[in-house]
């Protein structure tokens, strides 16, 4: 029987924070720099309470600071136009050379779904970097050093660039979260693909953008690479019916590297969707069926009939009982030998129990997924204390997860540790609504620099990329 809201909240290991978390994976441990939050519960962890920002942008714990790197309509690209809007997924890369630790290259998605003629701040169409002349989305590359910030176009003419994923060979896979075909929404080419963007080798490496059709055409969210086995795993943020988790297996003899994916035939390799079974061997139709942290399902993989969705959306090509679904499969990150992935929430569109977020871990060694984080339905989205709608995630170099909130009401970056606790990292204080009806945009693009000194994140509206620095992993300021 489905639980009501009160019963569901009472099942939380931390009702006040609305979270349950299992700690069986060795890398999910409290950050070395975590300190007791003396302003809250005695068992709380983190970096202390958030201090309101006098500038009204980002509240952070004491000792932390932020720097605005790009701002839609305010900062300027090297080509002269202003920074595009709708900041979303982001990948961070060491620049290479003698100043590896001093310079970071970021590839920043711009989740713009309007056609070019309508979009207010599109990704500029520069010669050779455009896929569809009618589309306004794409990626910019942001070079960050201590003294300067430079930004330029990485790819343009794509649509609804939501999340994506970094590759072991130093590129960014940007994902289109749309299924628009040529002739729909003003588009002149089909969309719903993954594209590769190379931040290190400039425009020549990104000329003549080509979709990686082998990875399928659907509402892509995020992607990770298993460098040991060669598989790619991809999430789908879709509904009616709920989306799927996919695995792409490369063809025999294929070796990964910069530009190798775009050179593949459109039908190269095998694209499959997941199908889950519980410990009793019973088929699981939707991940919302899991109500306990630590729930583990065995995973089988079912071949996608038509990966380019010529007549039917990929997720609609399967009959009932053939695959497992989940609402809003979003952020994804490779770590601890497997893939962490998010289901942002479940409500009436899902057959199981309502929740405000799950984080799962897929272990390719055992072909199982395990529920690591379960957020209870948030009782009051206008207040600090509980979290809802996890979206982009990253594995912290200091242990645990850092999660970008894309729910209702107040919006946070927050951490989750292995002993069942969450803690705030940042709160978006930039009200894009009114005083009577405040509105706070989602966080996105959460990722650490290669040296672990800086956490980058986006405020999607009005489009702000920030760098957050502070005592990450430093509990007493002493290296001893």
Residue 432 lies in a domain: no
Closest by alpha carbon to 180, among 200, 160, 162? 160
Residue 106 lies in a domain: yes
Q: What is the mean pLDDT of residues 302-314?
A: 98
In order of 257, 320, 401, the CA distances from 466 in angstroms are 30, 44, 19
Number of domains, the chain: 1
> Taking 60 as the threshold, does the pLDDT of residue 239 lie above it?
yes
Q: What is the mean pLDDT of residues 457-464?
A: 98
Helices then strands, each counted (H, E), the chain: 1, 28
Residue 218 lies in a domain: no
pLDDT by residue (tens digit) across 318-369?
999 999 999 999 999 999 999 999 999 999 999 999 999 999 999 999 999 9
pLDDT confidence bin for 39, thresholds 50/70/90: very low
* Average pLDDT of the residues of the chain: 89
Helix (H, G, I), strand (E, B) or coil at 289: helix
Helix (H, G, I), strand (E, B) or coil at 316: helix
Helix (H, G, I), strand (E, B) or coil at 425: strand
Residue 110 lies in a domain: yes
Structure tokens at 408: 């209702």
Residue 397 lies in a domain: no
pLDDT of residue 99: 53
pLDDT confidence bin for 136, thresholds 50/70/90: very high
Higher pLDDT, 106 or 22: 106
pLDDT by residue (tens digit) across 385-411?
789 999 999 999 998 999 999 999 999
Q: Which domain holds residue 154?
A: 84-211
pLDDT by residue (tens digit) across 155-211?
999 999 999 999 999 999 999 999 999 999 999 999 999 999 999 987 789 999 999
Q: What is the mean pLDDT of residues 58-63?
A: 98
Higher pLDDT, 422 or 172: 172
Residue 460 lies in a domain: no
pLDDT of residue 389: 94
Structure tokens at 293: 């942290």
pLDDT confidence bin for 371, thresholds 50/70/90: very high
Q: Dihedral sign, CA of 372, 377, 380, 381?
A: positive
pLDDT of residue 17: 38
Residue 337 lies in a domain: no
pLDDT of residue 478: 39
Residue 300 lies in a domain: no
């Amino acid at each position: 029987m489905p639980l009501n809201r009160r019963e569901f909240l009472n099942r939380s290991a931390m009702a006040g924070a609305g979270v349950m978390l299992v700690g069986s994976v060795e890398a999910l441990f409290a950050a070395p720099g975590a300190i007791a939050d003396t302003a809250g519960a005695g068992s709380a962890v983190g970096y202390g309470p958030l201090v309101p920002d006098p500038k009204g942008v980002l509240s952070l714990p004491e000792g932390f600071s932020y720097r605005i790197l790009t701002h839609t309509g305010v900062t300027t690209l090297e080509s002269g136009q202003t920074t595009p809007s709708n900041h979303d997924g982001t990948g961070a890369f060491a620049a290479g050379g003698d100043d590896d630790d001093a310079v970071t290259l970021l590839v920043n998605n711009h989740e713009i779904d309007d056609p070019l003629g309508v979009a207010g701040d599109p990704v500029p169409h520069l010669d050779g970097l455009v896929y569809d002349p009618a589309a306004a989305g794409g990626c910019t590359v942001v070079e960050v050093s201590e003294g300067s910030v430079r930004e330029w176009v990485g790819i343009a003419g794509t649509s609804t660039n939501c999340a994506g994923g970094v590759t072991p060979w130093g590129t960014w896979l940007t994902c289109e979260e749309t299924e628009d075909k040529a002739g729909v929404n003003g588009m002149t080419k089909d969309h719903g693909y993954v594209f590769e963007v190379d931040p290190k080798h400039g425009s020549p490496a990104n000329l003549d953008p080509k979709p990686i059709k082998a990875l399928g055409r659907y509402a892509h969210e995020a992607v990770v690479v298993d460098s040991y086995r060669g598989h790619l795993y991809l999430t789908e943020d879709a509904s009616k019916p709920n989306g799927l988790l996919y695995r792409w297996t490369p063809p025999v003899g294929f070796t990964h590297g910069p530009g190798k994916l775009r050179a593949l035939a459109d039908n190269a390799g095998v694209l499959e969707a997941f199908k889950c079974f519980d410990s009793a061997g019973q088929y699981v139709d939707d991940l919302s069926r899991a109500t306990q942290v630590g729930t583990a399902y065995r995973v089988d993989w079912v071949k996608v009939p038509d990966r380019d969705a010529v007549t039917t959306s990929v997720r609609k090509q399967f009959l009932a009982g053939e695959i497992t679904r989940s609402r809003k499969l979003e952020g994804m990150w490779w770590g601890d030998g497997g893939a962490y992935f998010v289901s942002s929430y479940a409500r009436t569109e899902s057959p199981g129990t309502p929740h405000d977020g799950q984080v799962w871990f897929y272990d390719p060694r055992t072909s199982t997924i395990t529920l690591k984080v379960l957020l209870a339905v948030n009782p009051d989205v206008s207040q600090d204390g509980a979290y809802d709608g996890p979206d982009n995630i990253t594995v912290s170099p200091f242990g645990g997860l850092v999660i970008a909130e894309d729910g209702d009401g107040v919006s946070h970056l927050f951490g989750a540790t292995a002993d069942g606790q969450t803690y705030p990292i940042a709160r978006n204080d930039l009200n894009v609504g009114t005083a009577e009806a405040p509105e706070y945009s989602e966080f996105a693009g959460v990722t650490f620099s290669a040296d672990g000194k800086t956490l980058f994140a986006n405020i999607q509206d009005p489009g702000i990329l920030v760098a957050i620095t502070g005592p990450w992993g430093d509990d007493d300021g002493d290296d001893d």
